[in-house]
């Protein structure tokens, strides 16, 4: 049976408004993105995930939508969207569209009609209303830095409306069959326009009920099965990737065979940072094993950072102990906490140290799943603390040392956000053009790793097995298929680590380091390896003598 395109695919998340400006108005657009597809192809990206491109008042980077079927005029039109789809497909790059199921903008015609409609009418009941703000009182307030309640009074409707996110994002009422019908029609529209997948935003919150957190209710799963039926009708591989910021035990039910194809593993993300923060592998190993036991294979999407804060939660996603480990072990997070997480990009969060940066990505590229790269992280881009909300993590992509990092030729006041000029992250140094010319740059390292991964199908499709490690800072595992065994060993600590690994199952077989093709001693019961601080490596085991696999490109 042929694998679906997303099995182990490398996904690149970008914000079109911050990526590349083609018409010099200071705002990135679809045509600018289309012009940069060659770069993404060179890097080794297999799919791009676009944050919302719909018409919106942009109070929340486009997640507050006024028309699910249109294109925001600042980004382009349907012609530029079709051109982007065609160009991406010619370069074997898939296009994943963000689909916000849970809510709309308060300026959406549906909400404006609802607030003027009579109580109890279908028009009013497009959204969730109450006269008593004690309704659903156990549902936590997600945006606790901005909201103190999930309810907002509307003077026209003379009722409170429900919003799990910001007050200008009222929740749709999925108990209303007309809402379900409309949102399924939206799915049909974008399928006809050729998208290859949907990142389904905030999937746990579609339905509400008393007596709990209002997350992942049975009715939510039933609706998602209807969405799955819709994409199956398309007759081609279309990815449904769910954003459920929940522990893996709560996110895994979305990954049954007739529901979603994939879901983000935010619990694993938190444990990756926890492992770097205290240099200990145990919690990370437990999370990886639990994830694979619940959902084997490559159905977890693996992000490090994204357009939001690094979500750690209120003790629900990971334990308060792990949260405290991250708070104290990553000092660059101090003063940058927002809502329930850390409002920083990857490189500044790691204090600009490329070693843990490479280590985290090395794990991401070798664990089972779909690695997700946030635009600019392949460069080690910085952030701009002090900007509104989560905008510190959403600044323009740095392409060249030229004005505005080559993002736009517009005057500075017109830019969607200011480019990074902080010491150590200045766009005149940290940009694509400069790093492409430096063989040892972070960008070229990413390209080599992704080239390696492409030539090692066991890393994309293979089985997974944790190996016993005698060192508390070291994690070891294999990815294997019928024709290939890849050994991965990683040191999560800032100190060097030496250990022996039991490779007796492959006694006497050749072991060779992947990146540079160096032969190591043959496999034994006590196979010795030394790793420097934050060091890691991939080895081929049992490779035929005389072959010459070495990725030096």
User: Any idea which residues carry the catalytic annotation?
Assistant: 201, 243
Distance from CA of residue 102 to its chain's centroid? 18
As a whole number of Å, the CA-based R_g of the chain is: 24
**Cβ atoms of 242 and 203 closer than 8 Å:** yes
| DSSP states along 52-90 | P-S----SSTT-S-S-TTS--TTT--HHHHHHHHHHHHH
- What sections of 430-493 are H helices per DSSP? 432-436, 442-455, 457-461
CA distance 490 to 358: 11
Let me know: does 75 contact 26? Beta carbons within 8 Å: no
Return contacts of 35-43, CB within 8 angstroms, 24+ apart.
Answer: 36/399, 37/87, 37/88, 37/91, 37/93, 38/91, 39/432, 40/12, 40/91, 40/93, 41/91, 41/92, 41/93, 42/447, 43/12, 43/378, 43/443, 43/446, 43/447, 43/450
| DSSP assigned state of 405 | G
CA angle, 406 as apex, 14 and 414 as ends, to 5°? 80
Q: Phi and psi at residue 310, in whole multiples of 5°?
A: -70, 100
């Amino acid at each position: 049976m042929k694998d679906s395109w997303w099995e182990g695919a490398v996904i690149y998340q970008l914000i079109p408004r911050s990526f590349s400006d083609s018409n010099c108005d200071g705002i990135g657009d679809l045509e600018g993105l289309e012009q940069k597809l060659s770069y993404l192809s060179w890097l080794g990206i297999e799919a791009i995930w676009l944050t919302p491109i719909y018409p919106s008042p942009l109070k929340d980077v486009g997640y507050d939508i006024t028309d699910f079927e249109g294109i925001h005029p600042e980004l382009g039109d349907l012609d530029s969207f079709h051109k982007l789809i065609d160009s991406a497909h010619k370069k074997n790059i898939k296009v994943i569209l963000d689909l916000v199921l849970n809510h709309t903008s308060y300026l959406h015609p549906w909400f404006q009609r609802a607030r003027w409609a009579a109580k109890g009418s279908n028009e009013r009941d497009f959204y969730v209303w109450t006269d008593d703000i004690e309704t659903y009182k156990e549902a936590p307030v997600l945006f606790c830095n901005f909201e103190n309640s999930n309810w907002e009074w509307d003077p026209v409707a003379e009722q409170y409306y429900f919003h799990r996110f910001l007050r200008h994002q009222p929740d749709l009422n999925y108990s209303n069959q007309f809402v379900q019908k409309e949102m399924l029609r939206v799915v049909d529209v974008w399928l006809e326009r050729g998208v290859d997948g949907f990142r389904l935003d905030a999937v746990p919150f579609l339905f509400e009920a008393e007596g709990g957190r209002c997350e992942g209710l049975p009715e939510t799963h039933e609706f998602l099965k209807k969405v799955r039926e819709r994409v199956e009708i398309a007759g081609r591989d279309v990815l449904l990737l769910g954003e459920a910021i929940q522990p893996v035990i709560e996110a895994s039910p979305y990954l049954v065979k007739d529901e979603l194809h994939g879901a983000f593993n935010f619990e694993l993300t938190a444990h990756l940072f926890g492992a770097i923060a205290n240099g200990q592998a145990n919690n990370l190993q437990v999370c990886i094993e639990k994830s694979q036991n619940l959902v084997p294979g490559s159905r977890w999407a693996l992000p490090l950072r994204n357009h939001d804060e690094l979500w750690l939660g209120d003790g629900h996603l990971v334990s308060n102990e792990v949260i405290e480990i991250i708070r104290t072990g990553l000092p660059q997070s101090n003063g940058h906490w927002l809502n329930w997480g850390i409002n920083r990009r990857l490189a500044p969060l790691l204090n600009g140290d490329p070693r843990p940066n490479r280590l985290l990505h090395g794990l991401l590229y070798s664990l089972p799943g779909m690695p997700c790269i946030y635009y600019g992280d392949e460069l080690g881009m910085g952030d701009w603390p002090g900007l509104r909300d989560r905008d510190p993590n959403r600044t323009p992509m740095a392409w060249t040392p030229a004005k505005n990092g080559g993002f736009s030729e517009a005057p500075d006041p017109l830019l969607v956000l200011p480019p990074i000029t902080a010491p150590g992250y200045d766009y005149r140094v940290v940009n694509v053009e400069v790093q492409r010319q430096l063989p040892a740059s972070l960008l070229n390292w990413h390209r080599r790793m992704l080239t390696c991964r492409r030539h090692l199908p066991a890393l994309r499709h293979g089985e997974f097995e944790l190996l016993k490690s005698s060192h508390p800072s070291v994690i070891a595992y294999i990815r294997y298929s019928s024709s290939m065994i890849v050994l991965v060993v990683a040191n999560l600590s800032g100190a060097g680590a030496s250990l022996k690994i039991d490779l007796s199952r492959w006694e006497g077989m050749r072991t060779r380091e992947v990146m540079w093709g160096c032969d190591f001693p043959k496999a034994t019961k006590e196979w010795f390896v030394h790793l420097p601080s934050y060091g890691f490596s991939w080895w081929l085991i049992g490779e035929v003598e005389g072959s010459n696999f070495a990725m030096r490109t």
